[in-house]
Amino acid sequence: MDTTCPAVMARSSLLRSLPLALAAGVAWGIITAPIEPSAASAASALLESVKQNPELARQLCRQFKALNAEGQSATSKASIARVAESQGLSPMDAEVLATYVIGLHCPDVR
């Protein structure tokens, strides 16, 4: 193999610098960690709760539509805070729940 070829030299240089690039990426947070299994299962449980309790979904849709009628977004911080409080959820879980409900049961809500 001819190591004087520019393409070979460039590839060789890239391979030598790869560990440094990976280390720099980790230091700067560029390389992301996979989603925690518990977070994925929590989101799945929220989706399942909506599927198993369609009355809850209808109730939330009515609330979201009432907010829309008042000119408010169903996904506003205030709306999500109300869902969190009424359902005993964290704000993040309430946002996931609202997104599922809107997507599955009331896509006309904004």
The whole-number average pLDDT for the span 1-29 is 48
pLDDT, residue 65, reads 97
Which contacts of 55-63 are long-range, i.e. CB under 8 A and separated by 24 or more positions? 56/101, 57/101, 57/104, 57/105, 57/106, 58/105, 60/97, 60/98, 60/101, 60/105, 60/106, 61/101, 61/102, 61/105, 61/106, 61/109
Q: Where are the domains of the chain?
A: 1-30, 38-105
Write out pLDDT tens, residues 48-80.
888 899 999 999 999 999 999 999 999 999 999
What's the whole-number average pLDDT of the chain?
A: 77
